[in-house]
Amino acid sequence: MTLSFFDQFMSPTFMGIPLMALALTLPWILYPTPSARWLNNRLLTLQGWFINRFTHQLLTPLNLGGHKWALLLTSLMLFLVTLNMLGLLPYTFTPTTQLSLNLGLAVPLWLATVIIGMRNQPTVALGHFLPEGTPTLLIPVLIVIETISLFIRPLALGVRLTANLTAGHLLIQLIATAAFTLLPLMPTVAILTATLLFLLTLLEVAVAMIQAYVFVLLLSLYLQENV
């Protein structure tokens, strides 16, 4: 049976049961549990240092009202990074290549930032639809444009994460297939292709971390506008 390159993005099932829930639960099992001891091992120390630095960098532009989101945004960052990195392992499934999952994360969080802005400072939140000093003739057009741009934000969050990871996985599979095909025919070209595959894999590791960071960073910027 000939398999398509896109079969790797199909949600895995076992005896008719979708394994998406298992794939989403696995990252939390891999992280060590913090202890109350004064001295921890190197892994816990590195984990704590990374979380503290990321939280500090993310929440510095926000006022005190936005600091309530620290736990949520940091947990989301670790969750997305782990899912993206695990998806680079052979014979694994990447849940973040599914647009439905990414939109399921982006839409509620974006909507929460909008509701917070409408509740806490409705004048400022509505003022984003019409910049100060706008000519009278452009007022209806600008309101429509700003409304469309507001509702496109969650779609852009989900599509950006899905498209980048999907493109990376497809490139890795295409180059790996080419390397295996060229190995008996042109070994030298196959070695060069394998070298390119290794470099691309390193690039995809960086992309997996950067895209998770961009997802959370944009959410924090949306939150900054509304708190």
**Amino acid identity, position 198:** F
> In whole angstroms, how large is the CA radius of gyration of the chain?
22
Q: Quick one: pLDDT at residue 39?
A: 66
Q: Quick one: pLDDT at residue 34?
A: 67
**Amino acid identity, position 35:** S
Asked if the structure places residue 36 within a domain, the reply is no
Work out how many domains the chain is built from and give that number. 1
Rounded to whole angstroms, how far apart are CA atoms 108 and 110?
Answer: 6
Q: Quick one: pLDDT at residue 3?
A: 56
Containing domain of residue 194, as a range?
Answer: 43-226
Tokens of residue 206, six digits: 């960086």
**Amino acid identity, position 156:** A
pLDDT in tens, 70-103: 888 988 998 999 989 988 888 888 888 888 889 9
* Mean model confidence pLDDT for the chain: 84
Asked if the structure places residue 57 within a domain, the reply is yes
Q: How many CA atoms lie within 13 A of 116 on its CB side?
A: 17
**Amino acid identity, position 20:** M
pLDDT in tens, 140-152: 888 888 889 889 9
- Listed as ranges, residues in the chain with pLDDT below 50 are 1-2
Asked if the structure places residue 32 within a domain, the reply is no
Asked if the structure places residue 110 within a domain, the reply is yes
Cα 70 from chain centre = 17
